[in-house]
Amino acid sequence: MKTAEIARRYLSYFEKNGHTIVPSASLVSDDPALLFTVAGMVPFIPYLRGDVPAPYVRVADSQKCLRTNDIEEVGKTPRHGTFFQMLGNWSFGDYFKEGAIAYAWELLTSSEEDGGLGFDPKDLWVTVYEEDDEAHDLWLRLTTLPEERIQRLGKDTNYWSTGLPGPAGPCSEIFFDRGPAYGIDGGPATDDDRYVEIWNLVFMEYEITDVTSKTDFTIVGELPAKNIDTGLGLERIAFIKQGVDNMYETDQVRPVLDRAVALSGKAYGADHTDDVRFRVIADHVRSSLMLLADGVTPSNEGRGYILRRLMRRAVRAMRLLGVDGPTFPELFTASRDAMKEAYPEVADDWQRISQYAIAEEETFLRTLASGSTILDLALDETKRSGGTALAGAEAFLLHDTYGFPIDLTLEVAEEAGLSVDRDAFDTLMKEQRERAKADARSRKRAIADVSVYRALRAQGETVFTGYTDLETESSVLGLLVDGQSVTRAGQGQIAEVILAETSLYAESGGQVADKGIIVGPGFELDVLDVQRPVAGLVSHTVEVRSGEVGVGQPATSVVDAVNRRAARQAHSATHLVHAALRDTLGRSATQAGSLNRAGYLRFDFTWGQGLSEATRTEIEEIANNAVRDNLEVTTRTMSLTEAKELGAMALFGEKYGDTVRMVDIGGPWSRELCAGTHVSSSAEVGLINLVGESSVGASNRRVEALVGLDAFRELAAERAIVSQLTSSLKTPRDQLPARIAELAANLKAAEKKIAQFEAKALGDRLPALAETAQRVGAMRVVAQSLGTAASADDIRTLALQLRDRLGADAAVVALAADVNGRPVVIIATNEAARAAGAKAGALVKTAASILGGGGGGRDDVAQGGGTDVSALPAALSAIAGALEGAAA
């Protein structure tokens, strides 16, 4: 039974049993405490917790999930994967334990002919929370399970939460017994791979806080309603129904594994270590594909870092299988073909996805090449110094700074006949993880407790009237001060105000919040920010300018009309620039983030190289032509399906419900899903002036533009500068570039002549400097300050010439100078001096420590510097002292 068919049967069964079927939410979680959707319940947390009224009483879905906390187990067990799909059925205050158990048992044990999954009851075991007598008794009454196949387990396995404050409750898990060939008898309590957990029924009853571990938390009370949250592991059901040993061999994953086998020339099943690598590749490529499809891009922080880590682990595994060249074009294609039946978007958006994947692999292969060079130098230095193990700090630097994997460091070191100080490396890694955990804990603690909005949201959604009205009369539904509900707020206080209706736009879709005021009888409030803390609820952060505001009072929201007009111009201009980019660069130039505020827009898009000046001009001209043509701007509300059929583009990072708002500018030329405020015709935008284009990561570019009056002011300022230049240089405007280039060339030539004169002047000092040589033991030493010098290179040249002038006897030259206000010391030693123990690198560190800086180099020549020019004489004296000590 194919994976997609299992999901179809599941959803069909629950649809027949009164459940609303909803699509999967994005892997990018809305919860600010989570990077990803780590479990099927995450999108439903606001409903489970009661913060937002659920739009349905029972629902079922197939949810994309991603977890990396067990990443080291991937490939080693039959069930650990980073990307997985969770089939779930949910009840929000409707059926509870009895209904959940009855549904699960019927679907699992009904025959395939009747639409079920066809499991034999004799192969199933169940666990319940040790204190949950009700669940235990229901399993006995509703199913054919004997007492001995219902096991009671503790909180660590049978009490479920996200690991964060929020909903939780006891759970009951269903296991499939793979048979004695896979392990020992004794049921799930043995924690053996023989028993595969396939379905978890969570009975959400409580809200928890103070979460420090899976078993250490505080129950703060019952949820407003008892809820059901279940999760059926799609990959686990698939490998059982398909008769394979693990999830990596199922129909959605195996094609990638097979392609890796073909590329490596090695056999799957012949070597355990290689098999683990094949499975890692299959899992990580699929996970990366799905993350890219949901808009995540490789980077060095947050979600992008996790994606980068997955992709680089796959590259590393291919390398350890003997493949050094690019493999992603083939591996990702295999994954796309395996996943597109369930997720058509991986094929529809293939050009963008593959562009990121290929670019990331190319980058990492270059990293491996440069890391290998750095590692080779470090290994050579270790051997030269007589060491037998590469320092743990060196290995950690390669891993942390250059992204060079530790296992490759171990492998290369072993080939060089050296070991690695793994204990020191592991200590540094542990310290880094502890810092990361501390940051994560701090971030979790910083997340606002949204339960305070629960009662306010229960009164209904905040009605936004701002598309048509700049002023709206309403009433104060709630007030919050320092996160606590209050009845009144007085002059000077910062508070959150919840209104029944508002004309003020809450930040979303790249558009910043409106500016404005809220007024009522005896009070006036300055609006500092407008946000949606929970879905459907708008909160206004205000400062009470005068009077006192109270719950229940009438209040009128007033939008700053000038700021709103400029914000509308910028948002509509963003759509025009997006359309112009696609006209110029093609459909693969899609949005990857945006920001628009009054007079300014920033637009990120997928593209692998910088834009030429001609291309930028063309994009700017197309966008301004659209302004000139006075295109009609229309908005329509429709179903998401209908909007997609009409070709509307969804904006990066936005979440859409079943009903969406589509904005057209010039009909289909610019057609996007957008909840922002817009002009009524493109001519109202006024003017678009592209002022910047830059890189924001691999395969991502950013354009910035000023809009409307701000664009005019920028052009006027540039005109004033041009006018000043034409006047100062007495050159017509059209000849300015040539005149400025001529002046720059003359300046460069003059600087070159000055440098030549200075270098000659230094060279002329050679005889006099040689005369200053002093005997220190068997060595001749010159330690002199040159005063000022144009560059460190000039000092280095002079030091080497002076060393050669002193002949074959042991000689050390230490020259210092003030270079552009900073002290520089160059030390050069000849072969005889080095044999006598004078090493330039060590000597320069002595000097640099006095100068308040650092330095280094080879034994024959080294350079140091610092911040204290006045300390140059002391630094030179320290060098002489060090040589005297060595001579003694």
- Which residues contribute to the annotated binding site for Zn(2+)? 571, 575, 674, 678
Q: Which of these, 598, 561, 573, lies nearest to 687 by C-alpha position? A: 573
Instruction: Provide the sign of the torsion angle of the four alpha carbons 365, 366, 370, 376, taken in this order.
Output: positive
Residue 147 CA, chain-centre distance (Å), reads 48
The DSSP symbol for 715 reads H
Instruction: Provide the sign of the torsion angle of the four alpha carbons 295, 297, 300, 303, taken in this order.
Output: positive
CB atoms within 10 A of CB 656: 16
Hey, what's the torsion of the CAs at 201, 205, 210, 211, to 10 degrees?
Answer: 0
The answer to whether residues 556 and 520 touch, using CB atoms and an 8 Å cutoff, is yes
The answer to whether residues 578 and 571 touch, using CB atoms and an 8 Å cutoff, is no
Is residue 25 classed as helix, strand or coil in its secondary structure?
A: coil
What is the phi-psi region of residue 624: left when phi exceeds 0, alpha when psi lies from -120 to 50, beta otherwise?
alpha
Q: Which residues are annotated as a binding site?
A: 571, 575, 674, 678
CB atoms within 10 A of CB 66: 24
How far is it, in rounded angstroms, from Cα 680 to Cα 868? 63
Backbone angles phi and psi of 688, in degrees to 5 = -120, 125
Which residue has tokens 């910035």?
A: 704
How far is it, in rounded angstroms, from Cα 283 to Cα 249? 10
Written as six digits, the tokens of 329 are 């074009």
How far is it, in rounded angstroms, from Cα 193 to Cα 803? 72
How far is it, in rounded angstroms, from Cα 467 to Cα 675? 10
The answer to whether residues 82 and 71 touch, using CB atoms and an 8 Å cutoff, is yes
Q: Which of these, 94, 113, 109, lies nearest to 142 by C-alpha position? A: 109
Contacts of 850 (CB under 8 A, 6+ apart): 866, 868, 871, 874, 875, 878
How far is it, in rounded angstroms, from Cα 401 to Cα 96? 51
Written as six digits, the tokens of 375 are 């590692």
How far is it, in rounded angstroms, from Cα 817 to Cα 176? 78
Contacts of 16 (CB under 8 A, 6+ apart): none
Question: At how many degrees (to 10) do helices 840-851 and 872-887 cross?
Answer: 140
Report which secondary-structure segment, H or E, holds 529. strand 523-534
The answer to whether residues 61 and 264 touch, using CB atoms and an 8 Å cutoff, is no
List own/partner pairs for 110-114 with CB under 8 A and 24 or more apart. Answer: 112/1
Helices (H) and strands (E) in the chain, counts: 26, 34
Report which secondary-structure segment, H or E, holds 727. helix 709-729
DSSP state letters, 81-142: -SEEEEEEEEEESS--HHHHHHHHHHHHHS-TTTTS----GGGEEEEEETT-HHHHHHHHHH
How far is it, in rounded angstroms, from Cα 600 to Cα 690? 10
The answer to whether residues 826 and 872 touch, using CB atoms and an 8 Å cutoff, is no
Helices (H), 513-648: 561-585, 613-628, 640-645
Helices (H), 405-550: 406-415, 422-446, 454-457
